[in-house]
């Protein structure tokens, strides 16, 4: 352990915090941002030159998940169940999901352009008391509203329809 004149500590080895209850390490600033910095020194001699910083989550000494930065690919990688990649964010901010993406009920998937134009995919479902009313809408707004809707008012009678709309006007219904 080295302690400099500004009271900054440098540790030559690992740091272990052990406590019978919850063990906590706190990084706190009294007047600005608090930053926990993980700095992997490039030039190491191990795998990938030991330059990928990791934040690991473990239980009973078994790694359960990782968040790590891949210096070679310049990707931020989220891993679960050990080292299974669940999500990769690349250096162009593109997201690659290894599995399905699920949104909570009444949540939309929206695409917003630089001009404010947007498109969204919307799913709605009734409460089940009316035969599971549901609707899938692909909605586009670029000065003129347009939509393609897939919907049903009663699942048990298979009364599904497809509607093509501009604004609030239905141009074509198939069903």
State pTM to two decimals: 0.66
How far is C-alpha 156 from the chain's CA centre? 36
- List of E strands, the chain: 2-3, 9-10, 54-59, 62-70, 75-80, 84-89, 95-97, 109-112, 118-125, 134-141, 145-152, 161-166, 169-174
Q: What is the rounded distance in angstroms from the CA atom of residue 37 to the CA atom of residue 20?
A: 27
Interval 99-127: pLDDT, tens: 988 877 667 777 776 666 667 666 666 55
18 C-beta neighbours (distance < 10 Å), count: 5
Q: What is the rounded distance in angstroms from the CA atom of residue 89 to the CA atom of residue 57?
A: 19
Interval 24-76: pLDDT, tens: 888 888 899 988 888 877 655 555 555 788 899 999 889 999 998 988 889 99
Choice between 81 and 148, residue whose per-residue pLDDT is larger: 81
What would the DSSP string read from start to end of 12-48? SS------SS--------SSS-------PPTT-SSGG
């Amino acid at each position: 352990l080295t302690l400099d004149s500004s009271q900054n500590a440098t540790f030559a080895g690992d740091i272990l915090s052990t406590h019978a209850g919850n063990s906590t390490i706190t990084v706190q600033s009294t007047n600005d941002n608090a930053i926990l910095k993980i700095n992997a020194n490039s030039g190491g001699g191990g795998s990938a030159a030991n330059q990928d910083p990791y934040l690991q989550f473990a239980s009973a000494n078994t790694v359960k998940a990782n968040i790590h930065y891949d210096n070679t690919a310049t990707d931020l990688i989220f891993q679960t169940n050990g080292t299974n990649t669940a999500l990769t964010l690349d250096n162009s901010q593109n997201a690659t999901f290894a599995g399905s993406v699920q949104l909570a009920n009444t949540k939309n998937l929206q695409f917003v352009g630089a001009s404010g134009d947007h498109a969204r995919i919307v799913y709605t479902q009734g409460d089940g008391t009316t035969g599971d009313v549901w609707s899938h809408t692909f909605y586009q707004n670029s000065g003129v509203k347009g939509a393609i809707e897939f919907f049903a008012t009663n699942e048990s009678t298979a009364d599904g329809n497809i509607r093509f709309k501009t604004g609030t006007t239905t141009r074509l219904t198939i069903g």
